A = this chain, B = another copy of it.
């Protein structure tokens, strides 16, 4: 996996996991890859994956069954969706709108760009 320079790796792994859950590749209540396996796949230190799993467990997105492995929570998809939506609307969007105003990008421009990108 390719990592961004300016965001910590464990957060980028979290993003990846949110993706998996939202896209349905990791259905609710299912077992997910072990820390070791994901670390190998991502070419990353297992400690780093551990940190991500622990964080997601703390916020309730993951469950840990001792000696067996990690599982998505029973309502994982719904939780992630709600949490990310709130984050997006409350924190990211205001910053985005601010940037748009500074750069003179209108919502219409955005609409246009969105359509263009969707075609690709």
Q: Give the complex CA separation of A22 and B22 in angstroms.
A: 38
Q: Give the complex CA separation of A19 and B103 in angstroms.
A: 10
Q: Are A23's CB and B102's CB within 8 A? A: yes
State the interface size on chain A (CB cutoff 8 A): 32
- Chain B nearest Cβ from A110, distance in angstroms: 7
Contacts A8-B66, A85-B105 hold; do A94 and B117 have CB atoms under 8 A apart?
yes
* Other-chain residue from B66, B99, B110 in contact with A84 (beta carbon distance below 8 A): B99
Residue of B nearest to A113 (CB): B93
Q: Residues of B contacting A111 with CB < 8 Å?
A: 107, 111
A1 at the interface (CB under 8 A from B): no
- Chain B nearest Cβ from A120, distance in angstroms: 10
Q: Are B103's CB and A84's CB within 8 A? A: yes
Q: Give the complex CA separation of A19 and B99 in angstroms.
A: 9
